[in-house]
Amino acid sequence: MDTKREKQELLISIDKYGSFESANGSTQTERITFTWNNINVFVTKGPRRDTGRFFEFIRRRNETGIHPEAKQILKNVNGIARPGEVLAIMGASGAGKTTLMNVLTSQSAPNMLITGVCCANGVPIDSNLRRKCAYVQQEDLFIGTLSVKEHLIFQALLRMDRKIPNKERMKRVDEVIRALGLSKCENTKIGIQGRIKGISGGEMKRLSFASEVITNPSIMFCDEPTSGLDSFMALNIVQALKELAQSGKTIICTIHQPSSDLYAMFDKLMLVAEGRVAFLGSPRQAESFFASLDVPCPTNFNPADYFLELLAIAPGREQACRDAVQTICDKFAQSELGTSIARETDIEIGEYTVEDYPRGVREESPYKSSWCTQLRVLLWRSWLSDMRDPLIIRMRIGQTILIAILVSLIYAGQTLTEEGVMSINGVMYIFLSNMTFENLFSAVLVFCTEMPLFIRDHRRGMYRSDVYFLSKNIVDLPLFILSPVLTIAICYYCIGLNPLPDKFFTTLGITILAINASVSFGYMISCLSEKVDVSISIAAVITMPAMLLSGYYINFGSMPKYLRWISYFSWIRYGYECLMTNQWTGIDHINCNGTSTCPENGQMVLDTYAFSADHTMANIGALLGLLFGFRILAYIFLLLKTYTVD
């Protein structure tokens, strides 16, 4: 079997399993040498013009279609990262290290045009590598109400191969907890800043590593793993990276101004300046290289600080600094070390064709678990998250009960008089308007607060968008039903509404339907917006017309024709008319005491508002239409967000 075919079969085994068992039965990491060759990145003013993505199988370097005005960020960048080593990418601000990391992890922006090729053990790779690698982002994203062990169990259930039994998954979770020193806090909640006390910053960073190590990846990318940590915790994190590398993993990370102790722990160092490679090799080789350029690192000086200062563009001396950087980059490219890296990372583009990569591997589903398993695990996580959040349970239920008692005290003991009619009409509107604000703004927060976490999990191929959306709907439904049930149960007979049992249950059903229609609207706004403050502002502005055109403040016949269409999307309009017809239909006498303006019966009350009992079924149908229509739109908006990041 030729060398090319052997490399392909090795890549297939990595795609399927990601690890193998040694002769003694212990799990070992598949060893991968990761290389990138001739990487160029251009930023265009408009959307990216190339039709493929960076990790397509072959990138034709002579078919870039680059716009003449495009700005080049990375210039012919070559690199290599070997198993068992920690490669640190360093550079001054604006040097291009973050762009390079985004390219290697396929996280680049849509307006970037990228050329070049990446290889695993010498074989060009496609987007499947993204699912086989681990990427520890700088920002830690967690569900703060889960414990450390629960979070890792969630990761194991969704990210490990579906053929692995649950007993082995739990065993793997325990192994990772011990390996990364999380045993003391495994049952501690992760925490939410300012709300729920949780684990420390160092433990949270270790948990980020644990979340990726759970699948035993061969390659790990880490973006600023020591950011925001003190020197002691930063040292512990890098030590953890070293231990992971010693197990056979390939570790690539970006580091910003490491201390001299951290610098000495790196196996390889890559210096990036002005979008070019200024050096790639061991720390000792770096010191020798710069000494050969007559700019040696001073004694007792942190080499990392010195190299960054040497390669930075100082204000007021921009051109001189750029000339110096260009000289250093040229010297490295011409050096023996630079030329050897260029030779080792280069491949013959014509040597491989798309047909060389097996079709079955390319078309494999990104999801490790079945649809039902995803739903079960997401329901478990969402239920734990909601039940442990004091804002969701204690505050919302307490607020509902308190407001219901207050309304009952204010409107208690209403009778069928002119004043009673006005009060009863007002309290039914209060039912809908108050519970709309209470539940709609809770629904607005459901998706936008978890959107970054959802997008990250989607990129990992953990669960489907429809499963995530359905799980949130199912878990939230009891809470959004409990609110109107508590309100109606407390207020109805205390206020003195129509005492017939069927009237009570009809009022309860209509209120639940109307409130959940408003929740659907909140879901739609939550999926449409990316920030909490923006979604709340949008919801407040749009909800106001729904209230004003509901029929309580203005008669339908008096509405301006150019605004009347807005009322068709008002759940309060349909709900209020149903509540009114349910209350007043069958009321034949109202005690008017001789007042000419007093309605004599329930039908006259309905005529005043232009309401009719004949509209009841149409109104219920409209509420159902809004309930499902808004949720369908919400899911579409959520789905569109996943396409924008693929």
Question: If you average pLDDT over every residue of the chain, what do you get?
Answer: 81
pLDDT digits (tens, 9 = 90+) for 442-464: 888 889 888 888 988 887 888 99
Which one-letter amino acid corresponds to residue 157?
A: L
Note whether 208 and 328 are same-domain residues.
yes
Q: Which helix (H) or strand (E) holds 87?
A: strand 86-90
The contacts of residue 456 (CB under 8 Å, 6+ apart) are 137, 141
Element (H, E) at 40: strand 34-43
CATH of the domain at 323: 3.40.50.300
Judged by average pLDDT, the poorest of 78-82, 526-530, 590-594 is 590-594
**DSSP H/E element including 116:** strand 112-120
- Specify the 3-state DSSP secondary structure of 419: helix
Cα distance between residue 254 and residue 88, in whole Å: 6
Integer-rounded Cα Rg, in Å, for the chain is: 32
Annotate 213-263 with DSSP letters as a single string.
Answer: HTT--SEEEEESTTTT--HHHHHHHHHHHHHHHHTT-EEEEE-SS--HHHH
Predicted confidence at residue 28, as pLDDT, reads: 54
What is the rounded average pLDDT of the residues 397-402?
90
pLDDT value for 419: 87
pLDDT higher than 50, residue 280:
yes
Tell me the C-alpha distance between 473 and 475, whole Å: 6
- The CB-side HSE value for 47 (13 A sphere, CA atoms) comes to 6
- Are residues 393 and 297 part of one domain? no
What band does 87 get if pLDDT is binned at 50, 70 and 90? Answer: very high
Give yes or no: residues 325 and 411 share one domain: no
Handedness of CA 90, 53, 637, 480 (dihedral sign): negative
- The answer to whether position 361 is within a domain reads no
Cα gap 497→514, rounded to integer Å = 19
Position 292 pLDDT exceeds 60:
yes
Tens digit of pLDDT for each residue in 362-381?
Answer: 445 678 888 999 999 999 99
Same domain, 262 and 395: no
Angle at the Cα of 453 from the Cα atoms of 160 and 129, rounded to 5 degrees:
45
Task: With both helix axes pointing from N to C terminus, report the angle between 418-448 and 465-495 in degrees, rounded to the nearest 10.
Answer: 160
Same domain, 329 and 465: no
Q: Is 520 inside a domain boundary? A: yes
pLDDT on residue 379 = 95
Residue 409 pLDDT grade (very low, low, confident, very high; cuts 50, 70, 90): very high
The structure tokens 């209060």 sit at: 430
What residue type is 25 in one-letter code?
A: G
| 53 has a pLDDT exceeding 70 | no
Q: Are 396 and 443 in contact (CB under 8 A)?
A: no
Say if residue 81 is in the same domain as residue 154. Answer: yes
Q: Is 289:281 a contact under the CB 8 Å cutoff?
A: yes
With tokens 């309401």, the residue in question is: 611
Using DSSP, state whether 500 is helix, strand or coil: coil
Which token pair is 520? 């659907």
**How confident is the model at residue 7, as a pLDDT?**
43
Tell me, yes or no, whether 363 lies in a domain.
Answer: no
DSSP 335: S
Q: What mean pLDDT do residues 610-624 have?
A: 91
Q: Is residue 359 part of a domain?
A: no
316: left (phi over 0), alpha (psi -120 to 50) or beta: left
pLDDT of residue 508: 94
**pLDDT per position as a tens digit, 422-436:** 899 889 988 898 888
Residues 6+ apart with CB under 8 A from 349: 58, 60, 61, 117
Question: By three-state DSSP, how is residue 163 classified?
Answer: coil
Q: Give the number of other CB atoms < 10 A from CB of residue 531.
A: 11
Read off the pLDDT of each residue in 74-97 and give the average, rounded to a whole number. Answer: 88
- Whether residue 261 contacts residue 234, with contact meaning beta carbons closer than 8 Å, is answered with no
Q: Is residue 274 within 8 Å of 322, Cβ to Cβ?
A: yes
Q: Are residues 161 and 280 in the same domain?
A: yes
Residues 338 and 388 in one domain: no
If asked whether residues 198 and 84 sit together in one domain, one would say yes
- Could you tell me where the DSSP H helices lie in 56-147? 97-104, 128-132
User: What DSSP element (H or E) covers 117?
Assistant: strand 112-120
Residues 580-599, mean pLDDT to the nearest whole number: 83
Task: Name the nearest CA neighbour of 103 among 34, 47, 160.
Answer: 34
pLDDT value, residue 579? 93
87 in a structural domain: yes
pLDDT value at position 594?
A: 65
Could you count the other beta carbons within 10 Å of the beta carbon of residue 24?
6
**Whether residues 417 and 287 fall in one domain:** no
- Token pair listed for 330: 């040229």
| Residue 618 within any structural domain of the chain | yes
Q: What is the pLDDT of residue 596?
A: 67
What is the number of H-type helices and E-type strands within the chain?
24, 12
Q: H-helix or E-strand containing 81?
A: strand 71-81
Q: Which tokens hold the place of 453?
A: 């976490």
Given pLDDT bands bounded at 50, 70 and 90, which one contains residue 530? confident
Q: What is the pLDDT of residues 157-212, one digit of tens each?
A: 998 888 888 899 999 999 889 888 888 988 999 988 777 888 888 888 889 888 88
φ, ψ at 181 (rounded to 5°):
65, 40
Domain assignment of residue 356, yes or no: no
CA distance 4 to 23: 26
Yes or no: say if 33 and 81 are a contact pair by the CB < 8 Å rule. yes
What pLDDT score was predicted for residue 374? 92
**472 pLDDT above the threshold of 90:** yes
608 pLDDT above the threshold of 90: no
Share of the chain above pLDDT 70, in %: 86
CB atoms within 10 A of CB 122: 17
In the DSSP assignment, the letter for residue 390 is T
Are the C-beta atoms of 126 and 117 separated by less than 8 Å? no
pLDDT value for 132 = 66
Residue 604, domain extent: 375-644
Higher pLDDT, 363 or 608: 608
Least confident residue range of 74-83, 348-357, 635-644: 348-357
- Same-domain pairing of 575 and 633: yes
Residue 626 pLDDT > 70, yes or no?
yes
397 and 283 assigned to the same domain:
no
pLDDT at 6: 43
Residue 593 domain-assigned?
yes
Helix or strand holding residue 271 (H, E) = strand 268-273
The total number of structural domains that make up the chain: 2
